Structure 1
Amino acid sequence: MTHSPPAFHTMSIPRSRERAWPLQVHDRLGSTSDLCKDMLAAGQGQDGLAVLALEQTAGRGSRGRGWCDPGGNLALSVMLVGQGAIVPVGLWPFIAGLALYDAVAGFVPEAGALELKWPNDLLLHGRKMAGILIESGASEAGPWQVLGMGANLKAAPRIEGRELACLAECGVEVSPPDMARAVLRALDAWLECYAAQGFDAIRAAWLARAHPPGTKLRVLAGNQAFSGTFAGLAEDGILLLDTPAGPRQVVTGEVLMAGGRQE
C-alpha cells in the first residue's frame, strides 16, 4: 500500500543548461530513497527530483545495514528517470562519490582530511563519514535509478564494531540543506564532466581523491576474505588489488582499511 508523502517545502537548486534540481525538504521521513521508490511505483516519478530529510528514522546502508540518523545529518536521495537514468549503475558510486567529496571539501579547511574508498564511501581522517546507496529498476516511465547519499554532519551514529566520523568533530557546522545544495551543484558538475569526457575523466578524478596506491586493504566477498594493496581502478571501475597470490580484480565486496577498521 502506498501512502501519501508527508508535508514538505520545495527549493530549486540551479543546474547547468538552464535546468534545476527540485529539492523537497521534509522535517522527518523513514527513508528518502523509499519515498522516491514509492513515488515511482505510484507513477509520480520526476527526473532530477531530490528528497532531503532533516531527520531520517529508517535509513538504509549497503548490504542491508541500517543507517541511523540522530538528526542534523545529511539524508539525501536523487531520483533519475528515463533519459536521466542513462548513466550505467556501476558508474554512479564514482560520480556521486566525487560530488560528496567536493561538497564536503568546501566546508573542511584541512587539506588531506578526506579520501574516497572503493566502492562508495567517503572517509574523514580515515573513518567513514559518508556513503552512497544506488538502487535501480523500471517503471512505465522507463528505467529509473535512485541515488541515496548519507553524511554525518552533526553526529556519528554509534554502531558496534565500526568507527565513524562526523564533520562536527572538526569544528565544522553545516546544515543539511546547505550540504544538500553543495552536493547537488557538485553532482551536476560531474555529470557534465561525464557527458563531455566519459568515464576516463571520472576515474582519474576519483583516483586523485582516493587513498594512495599501496594502501593495505582487506576484502570480504561472499564467504571469501583476502588482503592486498590498492593498485588502482580498471577502465570500468573494478578495484585492482595486488595480493601475495598475484594481481586480483574485485567486482564486488566490502573493503576494509588496514588494521581491520570497520568503515
Structure 2
Amino acid sequence: MTVALAPGATAWRLEVHDELGSTSDHCIARAGEGVEAGLAVMARRQTRGRGSRGRDWQDPGGNLAFSVLLRPAEADGAVGLWPFVASLAFYGAILPWIHDPAQLRLKWPNDLLLAGCKTAGILIERGSDATGRWLVIGFGANLRAVPSITGRSLACVAAYGTAPDPEIVARAICAELDRWQAVWRAEGFASLRAAWLERAHPPGTRLVVRGESGQVEGSFVGLDEQGMLLLHCADGLKRISTGEILLLDRDAAGASGGTGT
C-alpha cells in the first residue's frame, strides 16, 4: 500500500508492507531505479534488519522498522549533520507517547534512550550512481517489545508510556524531518546543536567511547560546531568523530543494538 502524505516541504509517499527483509535495502534498491526523494517505507515485520556496525536486528513484532529516501542537494553535503536532523525528528515523533518526557533522552549521535536504556536507533547510508546522489535514513524503535539480546539493556515505549501503531510514528517522523530540515537551512547547525543538547543526557554524564584503536572514558561536555562529541578525559578535552558510545551507569554491559532497519 502506498499513500501520499499531507503536503509539505517533501513529497512524501508512504509504503506500508506486511513484511520486508530490510526497509533500508528496499529504499536503496529503489534509489538505483531513479525514484525521487520522499519515498518512505515501513514494514510490519522485518526479517533481515540491521543496526550500526553491521549488527543484526531482531524484530519481535509490533515495533518500528522504517526508512526514507532523500536526495540531498550539494548545499546539504555536510553528511555528518544528518544524524542530528534525523535524531531530532525521531525524538519528536516518539515523545508524545512517553508519560514522563524527562525519561526520553538523545545519545550521541542518534540513539534514543528511555531511563538510560536504548529504545531506538538510526542508520544512515549514502551513495551515488547514474540516478544521482541519495541518502537513506533507517529508523528502528522498540515500541511494544524488546528483543532478547544477552548483555544489552534495552527498553520499549510501552514500558514508559503508550505504544503507538508504527504507522503513526512513521508519519510523524516524515513531518518532523521536514521541520528540522527547515530549521537547519534557515538557521544553520547552531540551532540544531542547541535543540539536540536540550534533549540529550546532561553535561557531566560519564561515557565510554569504543573505537578501532581502543576506548576512552570521560565526562560529556557537549558538541563542537561540527557536531563532534566533546569529552573531558583525564588527559584533557577530546573531540570524538566516531565510535560506540556507552553510558557508564547503564550501558557498560553493552546496551547498544536492538533497533535497526
Give the TM-score normalised by structure 2: 0.93
Which of residues 40, 45, 58 in structure 2 aligns to 1:50? 40
Pick one of 11, 20, 40 that aligns with 2:3: 11
Please state if 1:168 is matched with 2:193.
no
Pairing of 1:125-204 with structure 2 (within 5 A): 125-204=115-194
CA distance in structure 1 between the partners assigned to 2:168 and 2:110 by the alignment: 22
The farther-off stretch of 171-180 and 228-237 is 171-180
After superposition, the Cα gap between the structure-2 partners of 1:119 and 1:39, relative to the gap in structure 1 and judged at 3 Å, is: same
Q: Distance in 1 between matches of 2:146 and 2:2?
A: 27
Distance 2:22 2:74 in 1: 22
**Offset, 1:142:** 1.2
Q: Post-superposition shift, 1:261?
A: 4.0
Matched with 1:25 is: 16
Once the two structures are superposed, residues 44-83 of structure 1 have per-residue CA deviations (whole angstroms, 9 ceiling, x without a partner) of 4221111001111111100000111122111110101253
Per the alignment, residue 90 of structure 2 pairs with 100
Aligned length: 253
After superposition, give the CA deviation of every residue in 1:87-122 in whole Å (9 maximum; x if it has no partner): 522111111100111111111121301000001200
Q: Which runs of 5+ in 1 are unaligned?
A: 1-8
Work out whether residues 72 and 135 of structure 2, in 8 Å CA contact, stay in contact via their aligned partners in 1. Answer: no
Helix, strand or coil at the partner of 1:59 = coil
Matched, 1:243 2:223: no
- The secondary structure found in structure 1 opposite 2:45 is coil
Q: Tell me the distance in 2 between the aligned counterparts of 1:84 and 1:14.
A: 26
Corresponding residue for residue 26 of structure 2: 35
**Partner SS for 1:218:** strand
Task: Report the secondary structure of 2:175's partner residue.
Answer: helix
Relative to structure 2, which stretch is displaced further, 136-145 or 235-244?
A: 136-145
Q: Is 2:193–2:227's contact at 8 Å kept on the other side of the alignment?
A: yes
Task: Give me the CA root mean square deviation.
Answer: 1.5
Alignment gaps of 5+ in structure 2: 256-261
Deviation at 1:149, TM superposition (A): 0.6
Which of 108, 111, 120 pairs up with 1:121? 111
Q: Is the 8 A contact 1:115 1:122 kept in 2?
A: yes
**How many angstroms apart in 1 are the aligned matches of 2:72 and 2:108?**
27
What code does the residue aligned with 2:11 have? A
Q: SS at the partner of 1:109?
A: coil
Note the C-alpha offset of 1:167: 0.8
**Cα distance in 1, alignment partners of residues 180 and 245 from structure 2:** 24
- The amino acid that maps onto 2:130 is E
Task: Note the alpha carbon deviations across 1:189-246, whole angstroms, 9 max, x for none.
Answer: 1111111111111011000000010000001011311100001000000000000011
Give the TM-score normalised by the residue count of structure 1.
0.92
| 1:3 equivalent in structure 2 | none
